[in-house]
Amino acid sequence: MNVEVRMTLAIKILENRQRKNKFFNLDLDVAKATTMTTNLTLVHIINEESLFYPLSKEDIIASEAELLIFVQYF
């Protein structure tokens, strides 16, 4: 069995005086596995390359941020 996982950040930003939804794929520490366990821990490392790095807690709350998790296995 092969397992692939993607994590997407959905945020609302103000653009031309309108709130718009924007979607960004987040890098995961491990995105593929050869077995599917009952528990799966997803790790996005927050460093200088992360979309979260420049954001404050207030920025994240104001953007109504959501994490979308996509799991594909076959």
Give the pLDDT score at 39. 74
Q: Provide the residue ranges of all domains of the chain, joining segments of one domain with +.
A: 3-73
Give the pLDDT score at 38. 66
Strands 18-26 and 66-73, sheet pairing: unpaired
Lookup: tokens for 27: 């890098």
Give the pLDDT score at 65. 92
As a whole number, mean pLDDT of residues 9-17 equals: 90
Give the pLDDT score at 71. 85
Give the pLDDT score at 23. 95
CB–CB of 43/28 below 8 Å? Answer: yes
CB–CB of 42/25 below 8 Å? Answer: no
What is 3-73's CATH superfamily?
A: G protein-activated inward rectifier potassium channel 1 (2.60.40.1400)
Residues 29-74 pLDDT 10s: 887 777 766 677 888 999 999 988 998 999 889 999 999 998 887 7
